[in-house]
Structure 1
Amino acid sequence: MSEPDPKVTAQIDSAKRWRDELRALRAILLDTELSETVKWRNPCYTYDGGNVAMLYALKDCAAVSFFKGSLMSDPNGILLKPGENSQASRWMKFDEGQGVGQMEPILRAYVEEAIELQKSGAKVDFKRDEPLELVPEIQAVLAADPEFKAAFEALTRGRQRGYNLTIGGAKQSKTRTSRIEGYRDRILQGKGIHDCICGLSKRFPRCDGSHKQLKT
């Protein structure tokens, strides 16, 4: 059994929702070869330094996410994409209707498969060269504003995708247009949505998030 991380204990004990489910899921993950830590503000489980699984307390459920879930066999057809564009990660969800106890044998089998994938060195073939289908509002601004177009096209594909997903997540066209205007300064400065002026991402371990953010 792996050593519990006190930070995870405190985090789960203070969880406002799905506390019992998180505790049960954690017990299963600790009863393996995985090491427990905190990454991206969530309990994370690693093998030999490589990320294998992560716990989440979502609004409507608790979830276990597998970093290489797209490579797993999923004989029960229960692994879901966290987002439409997720290429690697897949998760299992647990709520009152689908409790951890009744799913424990299946979950244990899935966790073991995820560990074996990590041991084998298997890698997800990310399709980074696929054309990015931009939302119409971004396309319109690119066509009308040469400065914006040059700056946007100079961004990395990941940053372009981040803006496209965030802007496209708005239901109304006027909101999408407003978001583009709000992110304009970031884009012109070559920054991603989560970048600080220091050049590091808020998600990057060395950035403490205390730097002044570009206005949105």
Structure 2
Amino acid sequence: MEDKKTWNRNEQWSDEIELLKSIIAQTELVETTKWGGIVYTWNNRNIIGLGGFKNYFTIWFFNGVFLPDEKNVLVNAGEGVTKGLRQWRFTSKAEVEEKLVLHYVNQAITNEKNGLSIKPEKKTVEPSGFFLAKLNENQALVEQFNAFSPYKQKEFIEYIDSAKQEKTKLDRFEKIKPMLLANIGLNDKYRK
């Protein structure tokens, strides 16, 4: 049986995180563990998480982009990457104002109840000219490829087009040809 991984920086901030937990316990959120960290949910929806990092401990709001940040305390941890998540970082217990934390957490709950959330964008992958040219050399390959679900098509496209060298692309294409003709997805052997 595998050991469950836990967030390894929480011990460094254990007293501070316990303070945040005692504040959040005053809300209707349910504490759980996800991805090895402390996550609070409402109606099985992720609302906030708690964690410790090297230089700070934090509350992250999964849909924090919708919070009116009156006190300007929220930061985007991954500028240009993270769309909805926002963090509120602390470096000491003295920075934690119970009323303000409750205000932000309750606003996050209200936003979730009102359906405010970032929906993940579906990424479309366009096949390269190389991929299309090789595929179009054999009508049976085209038909078999088109019979796959968009998800499986995407796997094939990314497998070929992620290669940097033309020789590697050719080698990979030769490898997938029998799979296409046999109606076997690129990663089918790993699926249950």
Shared fold by TM > 0.5?
A: yes
1:60-139 → structure 2 map (5 Å cutoff)? 60-84=55-79, 85-96=81-92, 99-100=95-96, 103-126=97-120
TM-score calculated relative to the size of structure 2: 0.59
Q: Return closer, same or farther for 1:127/1:76 CA change in 2, 3 Å cut-off.
A: farther
**Whole-Å Cα distance in 2 between the matches of residues 28 and 22 of structure 1?**
10
| Paired residues of 1:80 and 1:92 also in contact (CA < 8 A) | yes
Q: Which runs of 5+ in 1 are unaligned?
A: 1-10, 132-140, 152-188, 192-196, 201-216
The unaligned stretches of length 5 or more in structure 2 are 1-5, 126-161, 173-184
- After superposition, the CA RMSD in angstroms is 3.3
The two structures have a TM-score, normalised by structure 1, of 0.53
Deviations 1:31-63 (A, max 9, x none): 100011111111110111111001111111110
Secondary structure at the residue paired with 2:19? helix
Q: Secondary structure at the match of 1:91?
A: strand
Tell which structure's C-alpha radius of gyration is larger: 2
Distance 2:85 2:32 in 1: 18
Structure 1 residue ranges (4+ consecutive) displaced by more than 6 angstroms after TM superposition: none
Compared with structure 1, are the counterparts of its residues 118 and 22 closer, same or farther at alpha carbon in structure 2 (3 Å cutoff)?
A: same
Per-residue deviation, 1:22: 0.2
Give the total of aligned pairs.
136
